[in-house]
Amino acid sequence: MSTSALNVWFWRRMATWATLLGRDATALEYAERIAAARPDDPKALASLAHRRAGAGGRNEAIALLERAVALDGSQAGAWYNLGYLLQEAQRHDEAIAAFDRALAIDEKLDLAHYGKAISLVKTDRLEEAIAPLERNIALQPMSPFGFYQLAHVHHRLGRRAQVAKLIRRLSGFEPAVATRLERETGVRRDEPAPG
């Protein structure tokens, strides 16, 4: 039995409404219908992966995203989402590769720079984590997350002056995060630079 385009359109609308009404299980059911009707549609697979991940099915979501990017490897968002789920699964080398694929498509995808850096930190590749964190900060200069992680990387590398500099920058727009970093690192924002 063939599924019409009208059925798929209807199921997409129903999934959207179910999501808006907080009926995630119903939205997942409709996403499964769509993916079953369109098994070679990377967008349908990615949508189902998103819903499966939200329902706690991370491994199923990873498999779906791997199929989606195998069918169409040109979507930076799909590669990023795959990297994110691989990172959650502690599969950091694979996550880094997925983030790199996302960045090859869209170099300005700040979250992929950040995700790559986090996986590099988790695998103790601190020096390599600096460049993606700096790029994340350049792309999102008012977001504290890149600053926070970069300060911790420099702290682990024993670079107190760099930590103090980052804390000073953060104090201008996120003073609570700057104070937290002072507490966590023992480095003060007004610390003089080494002579």
The pLDDT of residue 173 is above 60: yes
pLDDT tens per residue, range 103-140: 999 999 999 999 999 999 999 999 999 999 999 999 99
Helix segments in 89-174, DSSP class H: 92-105, 110-122, 126-139, 144-156, 160-171
Q: What is the pLDDT of residue 194?
A: 66
Q: If you write DSSP's letter for every residue of 81-109 in order, what string do you get?
A: HHHHHHHHTT-HHHHHHHHHHHHHH-TT-
- Residues of the chain with pLDDT > 70: what percent? 97
Average pLDDT of the chain? Answer: 92
pLDDT tens per residue, range 42-73: 998 999 999 999 889 999 999 999 999 999 99
pTM, full prediction: 0.86
**Closest to 100 (Cα-Cα) out of 90, 87, 10:** 87
The pLDDT of residue 1 is above 50: no
Q: What is the pLDDT of residue 61?
A: 96
Domain boundaries, the chain: 1-72, 73-140, 142-195
The topology (CATH level 3) of 1-72 is 1.25.40
The pLDDT of residue 78 is above 50: yes
CATH of 73-140, one of 1.25.40.10, 2.40.50.250, 3.30.70.270, 1.10.1270.20: 1.25.40.10
